[in-house]
């Protein structure tokens, strides 16, 4: 299993070095108007293009609906939450509850 995961990472890493991928990133910048799709903030240097379908066999299918540009911190957050969301989708409800309370407690 470990060898399979390593091989998959190598294949994905090598794809991300291709000219086709590098050009694709710029296509997406235009398509999404240079915005992080979650925060709606301008993309910063070092932004990520997030693959919605992370399976190796679909990794190179370059269609706009399969990707979202995200700033690095947003991308990290998505991957962190996804690990839990797959097992427990209600994590989003609990997160929203905490965020709503934070807004309530921090209003002037």
Q: How far is 11 from 67, CA to CA, in rounded Å?
A: 18
Residue 91: alpha-carbon gap to chain centroid: 18
Mean pLDDT, residues 19-40 taken together = 92
* pLDDT at residue 41, rounded to an integer: 98
Asked whether 67 and 50 are in contact (CB, 8 A), the reply is yes
Contact 67, 51 (CB under 8 A): yes
- Between 55 and 41, the more confident residue is 41
**pLDDT band of 1, cuts 50, 70, 90:** low
Residue 67: is it exposed, middle or buried by C-beta count within 10 angstroms (0-12/13-18/19+)? buried
pLDDT at residue 98 is higher than 70: yes
Share of the chain above pLDDT 90, in %: 63
């Amino acid at each position: 299993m470990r060898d399979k995961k390593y091989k998959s990472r190598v294949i994905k890493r090598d794809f991300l070095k291709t000219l086709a991928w590098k050009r694709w990133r710029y296509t997406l910048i235009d398509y999404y108007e240079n915005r992080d799709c979650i925060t709606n903030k301008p993309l910063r240097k070092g932004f990520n293009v997030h693959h919605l379908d992370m399976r190796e066999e679909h990794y190179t299918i370059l269609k706009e609906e399969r990707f979202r540009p995200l700033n690095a911190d947003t991308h990290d957050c998505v991957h962190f939450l996804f690990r839990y969301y797959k097992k427990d989708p209600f994590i989003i409800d609990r997160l929203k509850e905490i965020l709503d309370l934070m807004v309530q407690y921090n209003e002037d």
